[in-house]
Structure 1
Amino acid sequence: MKHVVILAHPKPTSFCAAIARTCVEHLRATDQEVVLRDLYAENFDPRLKAEELPTAFGVTPAADVIAERSMLSGAKSLVFVYPFWFNAPPAILKGYVDRVLGMGFGYASIGGRMESLMDGVSLTSFSTSGAPEHWVESTGALKALMTVFDQHVAKVCGLRVLDHVHFGDIVPNMTEEWGADTLQRVRDKLDGLFALAYV
């Protein structure tokens, strides 16, 4: 199986980056094909350009989008890793979805109606916040995000949402033990979702 781990955090020393690395290392340890896309490190431009908007004549993706779509070709699993900013993904990840998973790749307009083009591909998300997990749950923040982002993107593109795991209390003074325990939860979740077999 080919997995693409998409990291959306500006700091390479962030805990999100540690989660992304853990995903890559753990999946590769089970002989899975894994590609890491660090959107900030790659200097991905999230701004959808006027010339990229769909028209009656179709859609013309920019060169960087064409390259990104080529890299995603054959992937059966997308893994988003990002922090909660105002209870939403960073703009760079939203822009990635807008530009890369848009018309012509994520979905098509056929006979006046939309048809998904990514059926058979799964979506797993790992998100973080400084707020406690119970606050994110009790306020409905995670449920609201999943409705307007995870589930909407999945429905339009045909993705199958496997899970969205949120880690709260991710703060600069968190203990090393808490960090290690959280990364183990990431490994355990991957094992459960993909029934990984070690080689």
Structure 2
Amino acid sequence: MTHGATPAAQQAALRHVVVLGSPGAGSFTTAVAQAYCDEVRACGQEAEIRDLYAMGFNALLANSERPTAPDYRQPADVAAELAVLETAAVISFVYPLWVGMPPAIIKGYIDRVLGAGFEEPERRSGDRISTLRGKRLLSFSASASTRPWLEEHGQWTSIRQGIDSYLSTVFELVDGGHVHFDSIVEGVSESYVRQCLADVREVARRTCAAVLSERHARQNDARRLQLSH
């Protein structure tokens, strides 16, 4: 327990929210999400999977959800997801790549939840601070093709810049990296899958250590500020 921290800060668990976009309960990406959460819990932090397919998440952005719409309103399901994300220290996206891109349900989650009330000129001018500011963004993806092939055809750059870097910039998130597993095909060897999941657990351990260190640094800064007054 860190001396000088408020009771709420001492007791609040660091939470990881994993947004899973995979329709198969027994899929590789589902195993990735579960392995990540299991390791986070083993590190003494909290983890929750938001399984978009299992939830029946509606990926379609209605016109009334656009901030410029005269009848703008925030739907209850979006408000619920935002409430979950706001309690997280880490937000992880886990998904397969289909035709070189994330599933539509992931893009729909980004559009409807992260983009709720989003107006780009307002963000660019710095007039509005994101409620997700300072949270760590982490991504895991898998595909049948290899990463060199994705790079050769521009898809890897598109994903890293068009999703990871863009979201980190406009929502003031910390880019925690993107782990990609390639050559995930029917009949993939069990040993390869075990190695991939071991890599997931290692990333989870490093991420837990990073957010815990950041919390301690904030608490120490707060204590020094308190003592200086």
TM over 0.5: yes
Match of 2:37 among 24, 28, 31: 24
Relative to structure 1, is the Cα distance of residues 59 and 76 closer, same or farther in structure 2, using a 3 angstrom cutoff?
Answer: farther
CA distance in 2, matches of 1:175, 1:23: 20
CA distance in 1, matches of 2:181, 2:164: 17
2:143 is matched with: 129
Moved more, 125-134 or 40-49: 125-134
1:12 is matched with: 25
1:136 positional shift: 2.5
Relative to structure 1, is the Cα distance of residues 130 and 111 closer, same or farther in structure 2, using a 3 angstrom cutoff?
Answer: closer
2:51 is matched with: 38
Q: State the TM-score, normalized to the length of structure 2.
A: 0.78
CA distance in 2, matches of 1:4, 1:174: 28
Unaligned runs of 5+ in 1: none
CA distance in 1, matches of 2:120, 2:71: 12
Comparing both structures, which one devotes a greater share of its residues to helix? Answer: 2
1:151 positional shift: 1.0
Q: State the TM-score, normalized to the length of structure 1.
A: 0.89
1:32 positional shift: 0.6
Larger Rg: 2
Counterparts of 1:38-187 in structure 2, within 5 Å, are: 38-55=51-68, 59-104=72-117, 109=122, 115-117=128-130, 118-187=132-201
CA contact (8 A) 1:101 1:107 kept: no
1:124-148 CA distances to partner (integer Å, 9 max, x unpaired)?
Answer: 0000000123322444421221111
Relative to structure 1, is the Cα distance of residues 111 and 98 closer, same or farther in structure 2, using a 3 angstrom cutoff?
Answer: closer
| Identical-pair percentage | 37
CA distance in 2, matches of 1:111, 1:139: 30
1:61-90 CA distances to partner (integer Å, 9 max, x unpaired)?
Answer: 111111111122221110110011122111
CA contact (8 A) 1:76 1:122 kept: yes
Corresponding pairs, count: 197
Unaligned runs of 5+ in 2: 1-13, 213-229
Relative to structure 1, is the Cα distance of residues 89 and 165 closer, same or farther in structure 2, using a 3 angstrom cutoff?
Answer: same
CA distance in 1, matches of 2:71, 2:167: 20
Relative to structure 1, is the Cα distance of residues 52 and 181 closer, same or farther in structure 2, using a 3 angstrom cutoff?
Answer: same
Aligned-CA RMSD value? 2.5
